[in-house]
Structure 1
């Protein structure tokens, strides 16, 4: 394997810049810790609640516009079985941020919570909350694995090195600066990463559009040239699945601690809402380069490029179409800038997911359950150990499969089906729910999701669903929006069981005090 040394050097320089920014930000974090000596752990988790609003907007945007967003949008447009109509991430993520700003900023900030698990522990007690924390932790670790897998696959395509090496180096860099400065390091490195991403990807777009091996992409949008039109089609029978895919990302997004970490790090409610709405506006804009690159790739005769035949889609590499396009449709040194942009997009989400999971492990599990008398120093140590453990687990998973889509979808799936009903209940139906309803809903959601199955991880479908379609290769394509059905069933179950438990308690047949 011939190593692409100029490419490696360019990525190395980018990593050094990011690491240097993280070290600089860690000094700012330590100064803030001295001012808040009684709450040093909160400085690491929510930045002392005084993060600059511009930095806050950058870090919120960078968190959502990650590797899955950038690579996935290009893949959907390029894939002849999908097309632009299925590139829903920019729309869905904007919706998620708007929903969060409208409905979840005020209730989270009103009681000075630090993590999403705080209201659960306040309402249900520590033991029940520890169980409900499991899907949140799984979601974060799978998100980390998805992001690292995206970077590993991308770097291996363009730089001609093994993907596992890229995964290990990237995880190590992200873990290191997250350890040093907590949210400050994460936020300020996000500013650098988002800037790299904007400049790098937009700089590549004109060169890709001018590629001589590509037809007019506006014509290819509606006309079959080298493959099906890239604008795609949405059949009536697919409408339910399409809407559910949007809801999966939009509603599932409000279950990530990474969102609340940024909401809670600003000085005022108004700043928090501005952060959400500004990031919501930036998401579609930052999705444009990926969409354009995917469209040009779908309009390209790959036989006329250095890639040759068969095409990336025919080789099963649609998920890596963006780095492939950078490598084969751009001048070499321009493609290096594009690779830096991709690395920036990926790194900006890894650190957020690491700190998200570690904050809840350190505060809600270690401090509130394992060792209630823990000092601030011990809590900080628990957070740092959790960063290392989560980074190691995510990197390990990323090296087990080349499917980035696998981890990203399962992460969103787990949070949408199992956490979203709980989050809605804790904030908006709190008067009508209790820990018995929450536990029963959790178990039911887990059981239903298991029975429905998941082909991508080899989980058999034991529960028949309506509207299934058998594809040409014999696989079953589910048209029924079963995830949304599970969410609604779980939501109703939590409320109904809670009310039933309340009635039994009033008759003296049941106690509903939460287990501590």
Structure 2
């Protein structure tokens, strides 16, 4: 089979377009401090914020996974788009404004301000692993798609796509990522909308084949796991740095809230075309197409149903346009992941823990090195490891089980301290790992209720671990605070200085209140400005 030359040319043109836009946008990031570069000088308005949040959410896994679930499991198991959209909406209403008003640079700033730089940095590792494995999984999917449609070597496709995404992220940071997201989202929208009618009206497609199966089934014994999955998709999405990097770059808290809410609705709308393509894939008679593989489609090829529909049920120009859809979706997620990990490492690990005296120039180069290292690791994993998606699946569990309770308690429960946070971290991590994972071959050390050898854990153990995390954080924090405040134990034993940190926070709050009163007296009516300064003073006292 020869290389698809027209398709190859169109992909090259698409990549050149993305590079040019990334390079142009990079000019906006010059002559700024490191922190301003991390959050694009907090200059992103409503429309750009909406585009970049939506494009980041709608990655290669989102559209490919939606089509796969709809084709082979039915609507009831195609719950990720709906629940992800709810997650963004919840984050937009409750989390985004609070984080933006805090004037933070990364999601981990309030965590380190509350727990201390070193203890807070421990929470970075589930996020880092999730970003690396997620990028690797979607790059691997892109390589397989290009191999299917263009007959290109998948390894070469993965390497080239990684290099393009890393290059414009390296030179432009968040500016380049945000502006290229606009083009990627437009390509995604046009490609999916154009492909749907062609695939539906292909002669091999008969929708009557799926009229009794498209809804899917939920066996009674799977209700617990289904509920677990739903909770993970909603609440696990509230603690990802890729989302907060955009929120914290918005001009105001109001912009952050509005763009997040609009993005949640649009993300749901963008799931309709790939879901429809999944139905087409299930309704097609593949023997009546040019497809020469096994029928029914083997399990290992289920994740390729969207590119298969584009390739075998659509004309070549539409298939090539659809390939641009997959490439756009993958790159809009891959660049965000490598930038998020690079930013947190440069700011929260290198600057705050390893070298507090580091200059802006030094921190910027650490960011760039972090981007390259994260991109390289993702690329290597995408090429070498066959269970990349399984690794990401476990890491996304850790974000739900560990990061979500920690971030929530730190933002809303004022007495949360390092003792409670570390206790919750350890207990929830142990429970999650002890539950095992069949996909990764990790045996179950704890057999929760309803466990069977055939089906594994049927109890919602991830939600249990998350709740244990919450309970441990709140109870241990309250207990240790009481012990030190009542002098039942001398503050000499307060190894994490939580009482000193609490007193410093109170002084910062009082100084901030004075500043807010002065701003009102002077006629400054911008509540976000005054609140930002108040919270900055509080956190500065705590450092």
TM-score range, shorter chain: over 0.9
Gaps of 5+ in 1: 224-228
2:438–2:456 Cα contact (<8 Å) kept:
no
CA distance in 1, matches of 2:106, 2:482: 32
CA drift of 1:509 comes to 4.9
CA distance in 1, matches of 2:358, 2:245: 22
Question: Which residue among 486, 494, 507 is the counterpart of 1:512?
Answer: 494
| Residue matched to 1:226 | none
| Residue matched to 2:34 | 41
| Residue matched to 2:341 | 357
2:84–2:234 Cα contact (<8 Å) kept:
yes
Question: Which residue among 438, 443, 464 is the counterpart of 2:447?
Answer: 464
Select between 50-59 and 490-499 the one with higher mean Cα deviation: 490-499
2:11 corresponds to 1:11 = yes
| Residue matched to 2:469 | 490
CA distance in 2, matches of 1:15, 1:468: 48
| Residue matched to 1:281 | 265
CA gap of 1:57–1:23, structure 2 versus 1, over 3 A, is: same
CA distance in 1, matches of 2:347, 2:4: 44
| Residue matched to 2:351 | 367
Question: Which residue among 262, 273, 276 is the counterpart of 1:292?
Answer: 276
CA gap of 1:477–1:319, structure 2 versus 1, over 3 A, is: farther
Residues 71-97 of structure 1, C-alpha deviations (whole Å, 9 max, x = no match): 000000111xx2121111211111111
Gaps of 5+ in 2: 498-542
2:155 corresponds to 1:167 = no
3-state secondary structure, aligned to 1:382? helix
Residues 454-494 of structure 1, C-alpha deviations (whole Å, 9 max, x = no match): 11111111111222355xxxx42432111111100111112
3-state secondary structure, aligned to 1:20? helix
1:366–1:372 Cα contact (<8 Å) kept:
yes
CA gap of 1:89–1:182, structure 2 versus 1, over 3 A, is: same
CA gap of 1:108–1:367, structure 2 versus 1, over 3 A, is: same
| Residue matched to 1:70 | 63
CA gap of 1:288–1:403, structure 2 versus 1, over 3 A, is: farther
CA distance in 2, matches of 1:477, 1:318: 22
CA distance in 1, matches of 2:37, 2:228: 36
Residues 388-421 of structure 1, C-alpha deviations (whole Å, 9 max, x = no match): 0111111111122345642442232121112111
Question: Which residue among 284, 291, 300 is the counterpart of 1:307?
Answer: 291
CA drift of 1:446 comes to 1.7
CA RMSD of the aligned region, Å? 1.7
| Residue matched to 1:326 | 310
1:502–1:512 Cα contact (<8 Å) kept:
no
CA drift of 1:180 comes to 0.9
CA gap of 1:496–1:451, structure 2 versus 1, over 3 A, is: same
2:101 corresponds to 1:110 = yes
CA drift of 1:256 comes to 0.7
1:68–1:404 Cα contact (<8 Å) kept:
no
Question: Which residue among 218, 222, 240 is the counterpart of 2:211?
Answer: 222
3-state secondary structure, aligned to 2:205? coil
Question: Which residue among 446, 451, 463 is the counterpart of 2:434?
Answer: 451
TM-score (norm 1): 0.92
CA distance in 1, matches of 2:448, 2:4: 49
2:100–2:256 Cα contact (<8 Å) kept:
no
CA distance in 1, matches of 2:296, 2:329: 22
2:383 corresponds to 1:390 = no
3-state secondary structure, aligned to 2:17? helix
Residues 237-260 of structure 1, C-alpha deviations (whole Å, 9 max, x = no match): 323322222221221111111111
CA distance in 2, matches of 1:361, 1:296: 43
CA distance in 2, matches of 1:312, 1:381: 51
CA drift of 1:273 comes to 0.6
CA distance in 2, matches of 1:367, 1:232: 50
CA drift of 1:178 comes to 0.3
CA drift of 1:120 comes to 1.3
| Residue matched to 1:206 | 197
Question: Which residue among 140, 149, 164 is the counterpart of 1:149?
Answer: 140
Select between 138-147 and 187-196 the one with higher mean Cα deviation: 138-147
2:98–2:253 Cα contact (<8 Å) kept:
no
CA distance in 1, matches of 2:387, 2:187: 26
CA drift of 1:151 comes to 1.2
1:434–1:512 Cα contact (<8 Å) kept:
no
2:131–2:337 Cα contact (<8 Å) kept:
yes
CA drift of 1:300 comes to 0.9
TM-score (norm 2): 0.88
2:324 corresponds to 1:340 = yes
2:482 corresponds to 1:503 = yes
CA drift of 1:165 comes to 1.4
CA gap of 1:404–1:66, structure 2 versus 1, over 3 A, is: farther
CA drift of 1:318 comes to 0.4
3-state secondary structure, aligned to 1:324? helix
Question: Which residue among 169, 172, 182 is the counterpart of 1:191?
Answer: 182
| Residue matched to 1:417 | 401
1:146–1:398 Cα contact (<8 Å) kept:
yes
2:425 corresponds to 1:434 = no
CA distance in 1, matches of 2:50, 2:386: 32
CA drift of 1:513 comes to 5.1
CA drift of 1:312 comes to 5.8
